[in-house]
Structure 1
């Protein structure tokens, strides 16, 4: 089996569960931060398609899977940036390439803004912009996420919500099942913390502080974080390198089109 298709392995560091794929070369590692209804396994299609030279690490965010939650009921993106800092220190990684998807963009951007010398390049995919809200004043649509997962339970919550993330879901049953399975695995308390961080976040405010090269990518059929989110973010960046708009892709773009997203990363932040 070639190094390019060796499956990633589970590991733990600093209280965080990760999927880790070892690369064949001495390139900077790529760290991947998933979205609010996902986990590290959501990156598996992309991990299998990435250039083999790069090490890649996908975390289960705090409060997801076997990862310890952040130590506050009402966290902000700073809370998750600090958790990422502890993880990288435990792994001995001083400088990385960083990519976020959806809510993961808020965490990735906050870490990069706080640590500009440690992030060589950044990719923000299907970006959630956040709401800049106080923890006790979440917008009704954001609070509804917590209410729904609490009242319905993760399984029913995932069954109802997952189809919105996949464009043309009936014709992409494997992608839909992967999205549903990851969403059904959320821990309601960890999910509630992440929702509060989404409410508190403000990606457009962080954007001008990102000095490193930044790729922005969006699916043109995304109804969760519409393409206009990506366009607004791209316009606010200090050092944008490309705005990529993928036809036929929904919110779950890295799972729907892993080869295309891997090629895009290879041409930009991994180059």
Structure 2
């Protein structure tokens, strides 16, 4: 593993580059390791980045040694070297990081696409996972709710290129950001100013990357493909294989993942608990970090401390 460390801001946070098989990932975390605390890894959703977890990681900083990863092609991570943007490709990258860092087994968090990645990882590599916290996980839901159709259209060949041609140079970044937040927040009018400023800055930065739309479309195709998989690769079958304790978080105002999936998810996992947030949308960790953190603390208490025989990476 090779890393290049540099301070990302003035709060003590750090972003570093980590080389894994097939990709170079950006990993976000505190500049100083939280010695003695169990390790945790946070995986974002489609179009997101590790920054989506900032508030929740802060809330849990006294109980977890937490890091967030940018999936290949998202955030500050370069696209994968082989162009593999499937769920399996993202799983490979996250496993590569956990193996390279030696931090497993971890408390694994996933939102949306990151939730699907976390479920598959926990099924195929249970040795790397102590618990799962899944916030609006992208588990197969057929038919998807109507408000999710525009996102699904990104998977159609040629649509991303059409959107790229229609995007005017120097377009209204704030208007585009507002439209995006209206899709993922339960109450977009209540977005704190700090989150808003970060979202606008990130949208502006991503708009200047030549590969951004292609990565978004490729990962959207990966989700659609995962929804249609059967047999051992079925995400629902893999959910049933997960033995680690699971916390499921759903928002009743989620426009992308319907709450109707919650009952099936609770039944699929061997050890599941459910948190429903009536006012939350697709990103409950950003909208209600305190309430999500409270449920995570309860999960951690149920899991218990790290066994003395289990070594945690530094």
Shorter-chain TM range is 0.7 to 0.9
Compute the TM-score of the two structures, normalised by the length of structure 1: 0.84
Task: Find out whether 1:251 has 2:282 as its counterpart.
Answer: yes
Could you say which residue in structure 2 is the equivalent of 1:52? 62
State the aligned residue count: 259
Q: Which of these residues, 216, 224, 228, is aligned with residue 248 of structure 2?
A: 216
The SS at the match of 1:48 is: helix
In 2, Cα distance between the equivalents of 1:205 and 1:143? 26
**Aligned partners of 2:251 and 2:259 also within 8 Å:** yes
In 2, Cα distance between the equivalents of 1:131 and 1:39? 24
Compute the TM-score of the two structures, normalised by the length of structure 2: 0.73
Q: How much has 1:234 moved relative to structure 2?
A: 1.8
Could you say which residue in structure 1 is the equivalent of 2:297? 266
The SS at the match of 1:201 is: helix
Could you say which residue in structure 2 is the equivalent of 1:9? 14
Q: Which of these residues, 212, 232, 242, is aligned with residue 264 of structure 2?
A: 232
Could you say which residue in structure 2 is the equivalent of 1:194? 219
Gapped runs of 5+ residues in structure 2?
A: 1-10, 143-148, 207-211, 228-234, 305-314
Structure showing greater Rg: 2
In 1, Cα distance between the equivalents of 2:292 and 2:124? 26
Q: How much has 1:49 moved relative to structure 2?
A: 1.0
Q: How much has 1:70 moved relative to structure 2?
A: 2.6
In 2, Cα distance between the equivalents of 1:169 and 1:141? 18
* Structure 2 CA distance for partners of 1:231 and 1:255, relative to 1, 3 Å: same
Could you say which residue in structure 1 is the equivalent of 2:126? 116
**Aligned partners of 1:45 and 1:258 also within 8 Å:** yes
Could you say which residue in structure 2 is the equivalent of 1:91? 101
In 2, Cα distance between the equivalents of 1:65 and 1:41? 8
Gapped runs of 5+ residues in structure 1?
A: 1-5, 133-138
* Structure 2 CA distance for partners of 1:144 and 1:53, relative to 1, 3 Å: closer
Could you say which residue in structure 2 is the equivalent of 1:61? 71
